[in-house]
Chains A and B, each alone.
Chain A
């Protein structure tokens, strides 16, 4: 299965680890 960081951005789902991916992406684009 492909990793799905977008499905790990909320503690109510399965955790927040995926947020790191998006935060880094945004920070690097800035």
Chain B
């Protein structure tokens, strides 16, 4: 087949990109080469619209061992231990085929982790669906949850947390972001940089099929009415093979055979071989006849672009082939020496004794397009003046019940009970809390992790929303007693070719950058997913942040359930009653406009660090951050978890009770302390200039706001737990 400009366009390349390829090669590429360029230069693999802005993110810190650029980020967690973690999107395939899309998303991110020598110890996920009323939502949710559980459970890795949101902007483009944490010894971390000439290049894992061809290109395109036709581009996962691959790789990693290792994820053999060669400033020669294939008559184009799952590419030390083969044979996995490293600095492919591709690696990587796209700056919306009339007919308990049973606040137990969250025997805080917590096996240390997004705030004002989501992640870790260390981000946006969408991306990244710099909470890994768009309609900007923190002694971990009747409840951080963009404003008043709450990074840091001091001194019995739904929603969740009530004091401030209880001012926590420690605690708070107020005391089985507003905990539990189960059983 002779390649033409139209064929290049059909591969997702732009006219000028195709011209650049011809100019750089000084000839027209053949079809295999064009396939390789289209895979390496698509948005998903090349980050061509985002690289320019991502470089501003803070990626260094005292605990950072490896920042972005490798398969995953690595941080120091004391002693000889390091934590490897990353979040990645699998949005497009999950919409087309929810079970396999979500399952292979989980499989892919776990491979990224064990590629670096780490054993996966926990999974999390952030999933976003369209309106519950949309005809596709229920089945998409069911398929995605089964897919996540199906893969993670079979791998024997606990799913310890996550978040699920519904919003009509995801009607045509759901989001499925999967995160994995893995443990490794600091001196046994593996990287993807090839080194040395004539070193054998090894293919291991499953055989290559025709599934997933052009998966990465599909993930870099806008959806249209023909989206169902793209089903063949969705990969098919097999967790049992991945489990074998995990054990085989970790066994090989105990020795000194491996020079470099890279999983075959997006763009399969193409990206894995080229990335290894590029990082090592080497060439790679591959004989495609040696690649184990499960289908007959696969062409070089198909072999290079297949995204069959559970495969790895390894550069071995010379003479270690037999040892490695023995290990992979034992685990019943394919093993083939398919090529070698060369000094040519080219990717050279052979098939049926003919050279079928010959491309300098630097053309594919360093010369890949990078765009500084046009973007539109957003204005901070004007504050909405809410008339007193609008509050007049509202009853606080009715509003609270409505918020607790709303899709974005209600209990997600229907989801997480399908995930095995206790396998491996180290989960000490299961899903449903502020953060999932797992012990570092055999030590007193524990790792806390949470994943968060707040698309509504980002949509209202991307800069503030970007800051807020980092702060929320920070708060969730603080709330369980963990010192926040680093984050991974999954940046889900619409088309970068649209100035407004691009503006949302640029300003969210600025916000993330400002907040993570100030909080010493660096970004060590991540992923960008653009083109979450159907025709002209993009999703709300949805950066998902996976935060990780360390608890030095797991016995000091904090949970949100109220502990003892008579204990005092304090609100940490100032309540000013910000209702714009709050759940109250949107769901109760039906007001969708206005600015998101302001972020004060100084207070955020100061409040969080002071809470950690109180935890260290063992003053805090339970804690929960105040987020969606305000103080009363946060307190209700503490009551529900602890099956205890609370009697509240009358608020001192000159704001109405709806603003006080449902306002979403940032940087706040509710903490439970013993009454006799009140003086010591308030002294510490005052010494650290932290604003606080007494909220009330823990009660038996009723939440009493005032004489007229009270509700039993059983009723709160009913409101909180029934919506999702009922919805899924319809």
Contacts and interface: CB of A to CB of B under 8 A. Distances in A.
A16 B693 CA distance: 39
A6 interface: yes
B422 A12 contact: no
A12 B425 contact: no
B51 to A, nearest CB: 44
A28 interface: no
A30 interface: no
A6 B554 CA distance: 19
A18 to B, nearest CB: 10
A13 B423 CA distance: 11
Interface in B561-604: none
B529 to A, nearest CB: 33
A13 B425 contact: yes
A13 B422 contact: yes
Contact of A4 (B422, B428, B555): B422
B160 to A, nearest CB: 12
Determine which residue in B422, B430, B439, B555 has the highest number of CB atoms from chain A within 10 A of its CB, and name it. Answer: B422
Contacts, number: 19
A12 B55 CA distance: 41
Interface string B415-458: 00000001101111010000000010000000000000000000
Contacts of A12: 428, 439, 554-555
A1 B422 CA distance: 12
Interface in A1-30: 4, 6-7, 9-10, 12-14
A25 to B, nearest CB: 17
Contacts of A7: 422-423, 425
Q: Which of A6, A9, A10, A12 has the most CB of B within 10 A?
A: A12
Contacts of A6: 425
A12 to B, nearest CB: 5
Nearest to A10: B425
B310 to A, nearest CB: 26
Contacts of B554: 12
A10 B442 CA distance: 13
Nearest to A7: B422
A14 B422 contact: yes
Nearest to A9: B425
A6 B426 CA distance: 11
A29 B459 CA distance: 64
Contacts of A13: 422, 425-428
Contacts of B423: 4, 7
A11 B555 CA distance: 10
Nearest to B417: A1
Select the residue from B425, B430, B555 with max chain A CB neighbours within 10 A. Answer: B425
A7 B424 CA distance: 8
Contacts of B555: 12
A6 B428 CA distance: 14
A13 B158 CA distance: 13
A14 B427 CA distance: 9
Contacts of A14: 422, 430
Interface string B550-561: 000011000000
A20 to B, nearest CB: 17
Contacts of B425: 6-7, 9-10, 13
Nearest to A14: B422
A10 to B, nearest CB: 8
A15 to B, nearest CB: 11
Nearest to B418: A1
B196 to A, nearest CB: 45
B172 to A, nearest CB: 35
Contacts of B427: 13
Contacts of B439: 12
A16 B422 CA distance: 14
Nearest to A12: B428
Contacts of A4: 422-423
Contacts of B426: 13
Contacts of B430: 14
A13 B555 CA distance: 11
A10 B425 CA distance: 9
Contacts of A10: 425
Nearest to A6: B425
Interface in B519-554: 554
A15 B172 CA distance: 44
B150 to A, nearest CB: 14
Nearest to B425: A7
A4 B426 CA distance: 13
B698 to A, nearest CB: 22
A4 B428 CA distance: 15
Nearest to B554: A12
Nearest to B555: A12
Interface in B326-373: none
A9 B422 CA distance: 12
A10 B490 CA distance: 35
Q: Which of A6, A13, A14 is the most central at the interface, judged by chain B CB atoms within 10 Å of its CB?
A: A13
Contacts of B422: 4, 7, 13-14
B204 to A, nearest CB: 31
Nearest to A4: B422
Interface in B382-435: 422-423, 425-428, 430
A4 B158 CA distance: 14
B421 to A, nearest CB: 10
Contacts of A9: 425
A14 B428 CA distance: 8
A4 B421 CA distance: 12
B201 to A, nearest CB: 41
A10 B422 CA distance: 12
B140 to A, nearest CB: 25
A9 B423 CA distance: 13
A9 to B, nearest CB: 8
Nearest to A1: B420
Nearest to A8: B422
14 contacts: A4-B423, A6-B425, A7-B423, A7-B425, A9-B425, A10-B425, A12-B439, A12-B554, A12-B555, A13-B422, A13-B426, A13-B427, A14-B422, A14-B430
The 7 closest A-B pairs by CB, nearest first: A7-B422, A12-B428, A7-B425, A6-B425, A12-B554, A13-B428, A13-B425
Given A7-B425, A14-B422, 5 more contacts: A4-B423, A7-B422, A10-B425, A12-B554, A12-B555
